[in-house]
Chains A and B, each alone.
Chain A
Amino acid sequence: MSIEITNVNKRFGDFVALDDVSVSIPTGQLTALLGPSGGGKSTLLRIIGGLEQADTGRVVIEGVDATGLPPQKRNVGFVFQHYAAFKHLSVRRNVAFGLEIRKRPKAEIRSRVDELLALVHLEQFAERLPSQLSGGQRQRMALARALAIEPTVLLLDEPFGALDAKVRRELRDWLRRLHDEVHVSTVFVTHDQEEALEVADEIVVINEGRIEQIGSPDDLYDRPANDFVMSFLGPVTQLGDRLVRPHDLQLHSGDPAAGDISGQIARINRIGFEIRVDVATTGEPSQAVVVTLTRNEFRALGLDVGAAVNIRLAPESHTTLAPPAQPTPADTAKSLASSH
């Protein structure tokens, strides 16, 4: 294990940022700390990096107890959401900074920086100032700067958070490929479940200062431990008192089989390749259930708004117990829509 975190607590005044967190982060992998804003994931990352001190608990990095070590002595690479570029230094000098601090020979620094700039595709920008780069380029520079010191672990705090959607997607793919090349143990914080599912080998879901679940993207998506993980990682709809993924539901218009729930199609919505069908269940109280199908599946059914249908759960689908009912404005709107 590259990072062992044991019973870490952290408070900011009255606010509990981390509540007795213990987690082991495996060596050589890309691990995502995923959760909503303010859930404590950035605080955990900053504690690993030594930028924040835990109130209690231990942090061990590659077998070394780092709990009391300042960031200077942890040999971690840290990448910030807003790049944290050294604005007055050229891209080359930014990347060289950690090596200059370590007083490496000039020639070695030069060749190492050239190597890193090639790795992040910034060779032709070496002499520019950070202000002359785009956001994506700046973040690649920050990544090269962090990698220059050959860190034990690489920590990325919402690294793509400040970028627009397209660049974000590109950099995400690129980070995955880069990691497959460099193999440094990497932990990155994100609130974007798609990003975590796509890039990470392992995901740690953190909410309200506690760890909700740890597992591979498949584990988390298919076998969520609770309703929070279930609804945070993907779309959910409620069927009876269970939460279920809308694409795990099937529709048929024949006679209802045992366990099926009958209803009426309230609305049909096409989003690209996907058809979203809102079904108002019969019986009291009526529920608005969302079912998603592919266009071909839906066409084969030959149904339209108002048609009577039966909903059944696809075999081997995972469901979790729904949280106690708390009507949200969205739910109210949905039930209003379905009653018309």
Chain B
Amino acid sequence: MTSTTVTGRRSAGDRGSAPGGLPLTRVSGVGLGVAMLWFSLLVLIPLAAVAVTASEGGWSQFWRTVTQEQTAAAIELTVGTAFLVTLVNIVMGTAIAWVLVRDRFTGKRVLEILIDIPFALPTIVAGLVLLSLYGPKSPLGVNIANTRTAVFLAFLFVTLPFVVRTVQPVLAELDREAEEAAASLGARRFTIFRRIILPGLTPAIAAGAALSFARGVSEYGSLVLLSGNLPMHTEVASVRILSSIENDNPENAAAVAVVLLAISFVVIVAVDVLQRRMVRRG
């Protein structure tokens, strides 16, 4: 996913740098205009507005807001948990995709559909499900309400499909004969996986990981019931934003939002760079 946007960006850049460039036809000119307007209205202008709100009090005000004890703790928890969850997803998502593509078993079709439930389910419903299963009245006797584990679990729940769904189609398209060739050249299964299969999957895994991380950072609904939103303990950034708004402090909310935005942006760029290197190296 990220790789497509990157190629698009690069070719657009090439075109711009070519002497004279390519003249736009009327249709493509209108198309570009509409696309830019749409993108601006929905994304760029709101983002800019948030940034402007956050910067109203100046840099020192912004810095004071985000380093304020409770806010910093919320950001740290959110980012840290999203990072851990992403690591788990890289392993588990790839494993699940592997099972779905390479193995044949009864109930495979059902599992295929179930994987998407976290996509389709309203997150507050997910939160309710988690609360009823792992809350104070847990039928399993597992009570993780009001703990950081609850945040971790909620993140895991909603981000489960990302790596699976980005890796699955790529894995299905991989050249099985390349693996057979590697086997006949003497490579054992693990070596084949590491040196032949994994490089082919890396871009997809990276794309899934980036999406999973971004989703984790922004999560609200699924954890708000189970985590208890205890300041300095289980309060995440999105909850912190909401409480800032409720306390009539939009600058504070905007500042946290800008931090989250910046983190997401850095992660997406970093993953992209990393994935290019990995693909090259093998």
- The answer on a CB contact under 8 Å between B180 and A71 is yes
Tell me the complex Cα distance, A82–B177, Å: 8
B residues less than 8 Å from A98 (CB atoms): 185-186
A residues less than 8 Å from B9 (CB atoms): none
Tell me the complex Cα distance, A88–B198, Å: 10
Tell me the complex Cα distance, A139–B187, Å: 20
Minimal beta-carbon separation of B171 from chain A (angstroms):
14
Minimal beta-carbon separation of A48 from chain B (angstroms):
11
Minimal beta-carbon separation of B254 from chain A (angstroms):
43
Tell me the complex Cα distance, A74–B185, Å: 9
With A86-B196, A88-B279 as contacts: A80 and B180 at CB distance below 8 Å: yes
Tell me the complex Cα distance, A70–B189, Å: 11
Tell me the complex Cα distance, A84–B175, Å: 7
- The answer on a CB contact under 8 Å between A88 and B184 is no
Tell me the complex Cα distance, A87–B202, Å: 13
- The answer on a CB contact under 8 Å between A86 and B178 is yes
Within 8 A of A (CB), among B166-188: 175, 177-178, 180-188
A residues less than 8 Å from B185 (CB atoms): 97-98, 101, 145-146, 148-149
Tell me the complex Cα distance, A69–B178, Å: 20
With A86-B282, A88-B199 as contacts: A97 and B177 at CB distance below 8 Å: no
- The answer on a CB contact under 8 Å between B186 and A80 is no
Minimal beta-carbon separation of A304 from chain B (angstroms):
55
- The answer on a CB contact under 8 Å between B177 and A71 is no
With A98-B185, A101-B186 as contacts: A82 and B175 at CB distance below 8 Å: yes
A residues less than 8 Å from B104 (CB atoms): none
- Give the size category of B's interface with A: 20 to 34
- The answer on a CB contact under 8 Å between A71 and B183 is yes
- The answer on a CB contact under 8 Å between A86 and B184 is no
Tell me the complex Cα distance, A78–B176, Å: 14
With A86-B196, A86-B282, A88-B280 as contacts: A72 and B177 at CB distance below 8 Å: no
Within 8 A of B (CB), among A162-204: none
Minimal beta-carbon separation of B194 from chain A (angstroms):
12
Residue of A nearest to B177 (CB): A84
Interface string of A54-79 (1 = CB under 8 A from B): 00000000000000001110111110
Tell me the complex Cα distance, A149–B182, Å: 12
- CB of A263 closer than 8 Å to a CB of B: no
B residues less than 8 Å from A89 (CB atoms): 282
Minimal beta-carbon separation of A108 from chain B (angstroms):
16
Q: Which B residues are closer than 8 A to A by beta carbons?
A: 175, 177-178, 180-188, 191, 195-196, 199-200, 279-280, 282
Q: Which 6 A-B pairs have the closest CB atoms?
A: A98-B185, A84-B177, A84-B181, A78-B184, A88-B199, A71-B183
Q: Assuming A72-B188, A87-B178, A142-B181, what are 12 further A-B pairs, CB within 8 angstroms?
A: A49-B184, A71-B183, A72-B184, A72-B187, A75-B186, A80-B181, A82-B177, A88-B282, A97-B185, A97-B195, A98-B185, A149-B186
25 A-B pairs with C-beta separation under 8 A: A50-B183, A51-B184, A70-B183, A71-B184, A75-B186, A77-B184, A78-B181, A84-B175, A84-B181, A85-B178, A86-B182, A87-B175, A88-B280, A97-B182, A97-B187, A98-B185, A98-B186, A101-B186, A101-B187, A102-B186, A142-B181, A145-B185, A146-B184, A146-B185, A148-B185
